[in-house]
Amino acid sequence: MLSPKIEKALNEQVLLEAESSQIYLAMASWAEVEGYSGIAAFLYKHSDEERMHMLKLVKFINERGGHGVIPALKAPSTKYKGVRELFQQVHDHEILVSTEINRLVDICLKEKDYTTHNFLQWYVSEQIEEEALARQIMDKLKLIGADKSGLYMFDRDVSIMGAPGAAGGGRH
């Protein structure tokens, strides 16, 4: 059985995961309209992943006697100055999510809810991968600089980044 404090904290994470999915969906749509089909595919995939993270939380809350609340969402931004700005926002957002997962783990330890603590370890591991992938992408964009042919190749290759078996991948 979840304590009210843990249930509230988990539902806050449901909101963050839902917002993540919406943000990445909006970014994917922008990239597709701008002609970056590889970036769009990458972000559509990540939007789906974030939705699955949200569903996993909702189901856990419900299974533990709580009520997983499906939140209303604010519309995310639909305009970006460019690919580098977009992926900087992805990187910054993943750091925010990691911070919130760590806060949740801390609450579980203080509340002595070891079942939820154990459940959250999957999210801790997932965030390590998410942050590493975002850093890898930012590093590649720094290497490319203003080179348009480099950006063309990045767009072509990014859709497979993070795929199972891909270099730097191991995604779920």
Residue whose token pair is 């964009």: 141
Q: Is 50 annotated as a binding residue?
A: yes
Termini Cα distance of the chain: 28
Q: Is 53 annotated as a binding residue?
A: yes
- pTM (2 d.p.): 0.91
User: In Å, how far from its chain's centre is CA 91?
Assistant: 9
Q: Is 127 annotated as a binding residue?
A: yes
Q: Is 32 annotated as a binding residue?
A: no
Domains of the chain: 4-69+79-158 (1.20.1260.10)
Cα–Cα distance for residue pair 116/94, rounded to 1 Å: 21
Per residue of the chain (172 residues), give pLDDT as tens.
999 999 999 999 999 999 999 999 999 999 999 999 999 999 999 999 999 999 999 999 999 999 999 999 999 999 999 999 999 999 999 999 999 999 999 999 999 999 999 999 999 999 999 999 999 999 999 999 989 999 999 999 998 886 544 433 433 3
Q: Is 126 annotated as a binding residue?
A: no
